[in-house]
Structure 1
Amino acid sequence: MHLVLELVTPAGAVPVECDAVLFDMDGTLVDSHACVERKWRAWADRHGLDAGAVLRAAHGRTLAGTVRLVSPGLDLDAEVRWLTRVEERDTTGLRAVPGARALLAAMPAGGWAVVTSAWRRLAEIRMRHAGLPLPPVLITDDGELPGKPAPDGYLAAAARLGRPAGRCVVVEDSPVGVRAGRAAGMRVIGVATGAPAPDADWVVDDLTALRVRVPGRP
């Protein structure tokens, strides 16, 4: 399968040829900022931690990865269970990132995937609540693969789609996600809804700046 992503810029459209597009979810497809911030602020208050520092550490990381990083002395399993319950129950403010619905509707089946630090149940809750289709390939944090910034999730998505890693484009909003895509040998589009690392190949404000074409398809 051959795709052309077009990045709409003030100077015109920049074509990016690829075989598949691999999306992050939170901050890239789904605006979950309010939910995520409420959860981590509540957790930080429970343990007397600096909420700002916790939020900075959590961006793009798994629950377990964040807890290990900011407070390694806590009971990891108990904290992850608490965080999981809080997050699955909170859908207030969840919405699609501008341009996400139109872009995913134009993606051909088998030409895209989602790679997220969320677990499967949460990913499905958020995608559905935001009115977005579930992807043909969904790579989640279910304990089988190292989390971002390791490249394993993106490499697994490419393999399940049957696409060479070097022919995939990653769309990410976090520094650790951009690093994961780059480590997988993929080109990366940073979405400025978050704080993408400066080493993204391109940066767009949101998904309204992206279009997809399938050569030969009307």
Structure 2
Amino acid sequence: MTERPPYVLAPALRGVDAVVFDTDGVITDSARVHAAAWKTAFDDHLATHPPADPAQRRPFDARDDYLRYVDGRSRLDGAAAFLAARGLDPAPEAVGAVAEHKERLFTERLRAHGIDAYPGTVRLVRALRRASTPLAAASASRHARELLTRAGVLDLFDALVDGGEAARLGLAGKPHPDLFLEAARRLAVPAGRCAVVEDALAGVEAGRRGGFALVVGVNRTGGPDTAAALLRHGADIVVPDLAELLEPDENEKEEESED
């Protein structure tokens, strides 16, 4: 007899026909590696190009500045947003130099140390697959396929739209919903019947702008301020871990109690 899965989907996910997952910080524990690479790149740039206002010379904050300016965005958009916020000219040359520095650092750290998928996310994805729910991964990063492959979860998804595909198709970056809409299109499910799962402020805003049926915010920091910000930017619900979207199977519990 086939073993009954011990968990089922929470009610919030039972009304959607497909799910689109962001990659960094949602599927893979790579947001911290991105944040560390950005910190080194931005701090080096601030040291060699100090802002006129001394108050703007403080180092890049790998949590708050990362979430506010670069998380979920393309490298160029993220670099431009942070430089402008510090009163520096976001000229293409400066933006490109910082973005390329970050890219080198990230690639070195990724290939030296590898990457893992979040266990709670994998549990949820497997439960969705048992329910025959189409799944896509989406990311502004050109490294998404490599990240998912290294984490051993690429084959769990029916479609992937990464930064390379976004550039090829001319998709606008988050908070525009283009990336997620393309992922839903590849699953052949309208956005109004799909859920989006995101940890970035720009990402939950993109899900809301795209008219997705459900926008799930993931708050890895555990901080109430981050949860509130995700809700303000468009999340319908916020969870600290995606395993929160699973519930014990009541039928399984009944069977266990009868033994």
TM score, norm. by length of structure 2: 0.70
Counterpart selection for 1:166 from 187, 192, 210? 192
> Match for residue 9 of structure 2?
6
- Give 1:33 shift: 3.4
Identical-pair percentage:
32
The answer (yes or no) to whether the contact 2:21–2:137 under 8 Å persists in 1 is yes
CA deviations on 1:78-105 (whole Å, 9 max, x unpaired) are 4333322222221237322231222223
The answer (yes or no) to whether the contact 1:118–1:141 under 8 Å persists in 2 is yes
- Structure 1 CA distance, aligned partners of 2:77 and 2:71? 11
- Structure 1 CA distance, aligned partners of 2:13 and 2:102? 41
Deviation beyond 6 Å, 4+ runs, structure 1 = none
Calculate the aligned-residue CA RMSD, in Å.
Answer: 2.4
Residues 1:47 and 1:193: Cα distance change in structure 2 (over 3 Å): same
Counterpart selection for 1:94 from 112, 115, 126? 115
Counterpart selection for 1:146 from 132, 152, 172? 172
Q: Which amino acid aligns with 2:103?
A: T
- Structure 1 CA distance, aligned partners of 2:33 and 2:147? 10
Counterpart selection for 1:105 from 112, 126, 130? 126
Deviates more, 1:179-188 or 1:102-111: 102-111
The answer (yes or no) to whether the contact 2:22–2:139 under 8 Å persists in 1 is yes
Residue 119 of structure 2 aligns to a residue whose secondary structure is: coil
Give the total of aligned pairs: 201
Counterpart selection for 2:21 from 23, 26, 30? 23
The answer (yes or no) to whether the contact 2:27–2:117 under 8 Å persists in 1 is yes
> Match for residue 31 of structure 2?
33
Which structure has the greater CA radius of gyration? 2
Counterpart selection for 1:118 from 141, 148, 151? 141
> Match for residue 176 of structure 1?
202
The answer (yes or no) to whether the contact 2:28–2:118 under 8 Å persists in 1 is yes
Q: Which amino acid aligns with 1:88?
A: T
Counterpart selection for 2:73 from 61, 67, 86? 61
The answer (yes or no) to whether the contact 2:174–2:203 under 8 Å persists in 1 is yes
- Structure 1 CA distance, aligned partners of 2:220 and 2:34? 14
Residue 43 of structure 1 aligns to a residue whose secondary structure is: helix
Counterpart selection for 2:103 from 68, 84, 88? 84
The answer (yes or no) to whether the contact 1:94–1:130 under 8 Å persists in 2 is yes
- Structure 2 CA distance, aligned partners of 1:138 and 1:200? 22
CA deviations on 1:159-205 (whole Å, 9 max, x unpaired) are 11111110000111111110000111012011121545113111222
CA deviations on 1:117-146 (whole Å, 9 max, x unpaired) are 211xx1122212223224221111232211
- Structure 2 CA distance, aligned partners of 1:24 and 1:208? 16
> Match for residue 10 of structure 1?
none
Residue 18 of structure 1 aligns to a residue whose secondary structure is: coil
Q: Which amino acid aligns with 2:203?
A: G
The answer to which structure has the higher strand fraction is 1
Structure 1 gaps of 5+ residues are 8-12, 213-218
The answer to which structure has the higher helix fraction is 2
- Structure 1 CA distance, aligned partners of 2:194 and 2:183? 10
Deviates more, 1:83-92 or 1:200-209: 83-92
- Give 1:54 shift: 4.5
> Match for residue 51 of structure 1?
60
Residues 1:127 and 1:149: Cα distance change in structure 2 (over 3 Å): same
